[in-house]
């Protein structure tokens, strides 16, 4: 469907419209009195969310690439139906983050503008992962940002997934940033060969950080001291939180990150990962939800 057709069918005058970020890369742009946002149809990826009068909350690389078949470095990539490395020959973080999703509905509600995007199994997805599914990303843009990734098993056999809302947050200075809410939580440290540790106090950053916090349903707060704000991430349907910053050396390996950008970003990801697997019976659903607010 072309951008013009999308606007005719789903546009909301003076509030929501569709544009092309690049050839073949349609993006939803939303502007209200409360907030603005952008969502890419490729990957159903929330790219930006910014409460009115506030600094950007989500981080997007200055070197990000907008291209058919590719995800964008930043925002909220969706990892599904697996998180992390796939089996041999299969894409990392699953296959939905680089595919075109369909717009299912747009609406202006009391709590914000709601955009529902969807994708279902096809011969192409069955060749990668042989299950019948329907997946929706429901994004509510208002004073808070609510993202719900809803998995439905439309087949006759159960399946098991891991998934994530791999959220990149914009911060003033990683060296002045702490993440609260994980004290006492067990984590697997990917930088230290997946060894198991227990978080002591707040998460602070002084080098590459890549941690999978397990058995936690806690709300996290990013204390963005340099910008004098707290970013709150509440969640449901998630028992894992991943905290990631690549730091200077690892950043060099990403062609779609500009030099030094690691200093203005941190990922706090709402996940089901590692041994936290979700089994979904036929005709049943699972919802992974993150609610982001700024205080």
- The per-residue pLDDT for range 151-184, each reduced to its tens digit, is 999 999 999 999 999 999 999 999 999 999 999 9
Please write the tens of the pLDDT for every residue from 9-34.
999 999 999 999 999 999 999 999 99
Three-state secondary structure call for residue 215: coil
202-215 pLDDT, tens digit each: 999 999 999 999 99
Task: Please state, in angstroms and rounded to a whole number, the distance separating the CA atoms of residues 131 and 241.
Answer: 26
* pLDDT value at 85 more than 90: no
Contacts of 4 (CB under 8 A, 6+ apart): none
Q: What is the enclosing helix (H) or strand (E) of 250?
A: helix 247-251
Q: Where are the beta strands (DSSP E) in 65-200?
A: 78-79, 102-109, 112-120, 133-141, 145-153, 159-161, 163-165, 168-170, 177-180, 186-189, 195-198
- Cα dihedral: 50, 53, 55, 56 (round 10): 10
Question: For all residues of the chain together, what is the average pLDDT?
Answer: 97
Lookup: tokens for 82: 């697996």
Sequence ranges of the domains in the chain: 3-172+244-294
Residue 89 has a pLDDT of: 83
Average pLDDT over residues 81-109: 94
For 273, other C-beta atoms within 10 Å of its C-beta total 23
Share of the chain above pLDDT 90, in %: 97
Of 136, 251, 261, 269, the catalytic one is 269
The Cα 44–Cα 67 span in angstroms is 14
Mean predicted confidence (pLDDT) in 199-226: 98
Residue 87: band (very low, low, confident or very high) from pLDDT cuts 50, 70, 90:
confident
Q: Distance between CA 279 and CA 17 in Å, rounded? A: 37
Q: Which candidate in 48, 136, 166, 170 is catalytic?
A: 166
Residue 113 has pLDDT above 90, yes or no: yes
Measured in whole angstroms, how far is the alpha carbon of residue 131 from the centre of its chain? 23
Lowest mean pLDDT segment, chosen from 5-19, 86-100, 123-137, 211-225? 86-100
Yes or no: say if 49 and 35 are a contact pair by the CB < 8 Å rule.
Answer: yes
Examine the residue annotation and report whether 166 is marked as an active-site residue of this protein. Answer: yes
Q: Does 156 qualify as catalytic in the annotation? A: no
Residue for token digits 């950043």? Answer: 251
Q: What is the pTM of this model?
A: 0.97
**Count of beta carbons in the 10 Å neighbourhood of residue 97:** 24
Q: What is the mean pLDDT of residues 31-38?
A: 98
The CB density around residue 63, as the number of other CB atoms within 10 Å, is 14
Give the class (CATH, top level) of 3-172+244-294: mainly beta
């Amino acid at each position: 469907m072309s951008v013009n057709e999308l606007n005719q069918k789903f546009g909301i005058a003076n509030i929501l419209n569709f544009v092309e970020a690049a050839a073949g890369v349609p993006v939803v742009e939303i502007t209200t009195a409360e907030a603005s946002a952008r969502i890419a149809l490729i990957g159903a990826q929330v790219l930006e969310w910014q409460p009115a009068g506030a600094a950007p909350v989500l981080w997007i690389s200055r070197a990000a690439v907008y291209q058919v078949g590719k995800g964008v470095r930043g925002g909220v990539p969706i990892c599904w139906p697996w998180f992390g490395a796939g089996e041999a020959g299969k894409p990392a973080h699953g296959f939905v983050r680089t595919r075109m999703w369909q717009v299912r509905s747009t609406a202006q509600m009391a709590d914000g503008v709601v955009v529902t995007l969807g994708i279902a199994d096809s011969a192409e997805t069955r060749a990668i992962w042989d299950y019948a599914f329907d997946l929706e990303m429901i994004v509510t843009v208002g004073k808070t940002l609510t993202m719900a990734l809803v998995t439905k098993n439309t087949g006759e056999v159960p399946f098991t997934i891991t998934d994530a809302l791999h959220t990149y947050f914009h911060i003033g200075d990683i060296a002045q940033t702490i993440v609260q809410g994980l004290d006492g939580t067990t984590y697997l440290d990917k930088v230290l060969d997946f060894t198991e540790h227990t978080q002591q106090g707040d998460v602070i950053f002084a080098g590459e950080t890549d941690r999978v916090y397990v058995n936690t349903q806690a709300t996290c707060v990013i204390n963005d001291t340099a910008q004098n704000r707290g970013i709150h991430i509440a969640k449901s349907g998630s028992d894992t939180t991943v905290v990631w910053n690549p730091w200077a050396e690892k950043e060099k390996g990403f062609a779609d990150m500009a030099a030094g950008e690691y200093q203005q970003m941190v990922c706090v990801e709402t996940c089901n990962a590692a041994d936290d697997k979700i089994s979904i019976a036929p005709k049943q659903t699972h919802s992974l939800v993150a609610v982001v607010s700024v205080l």
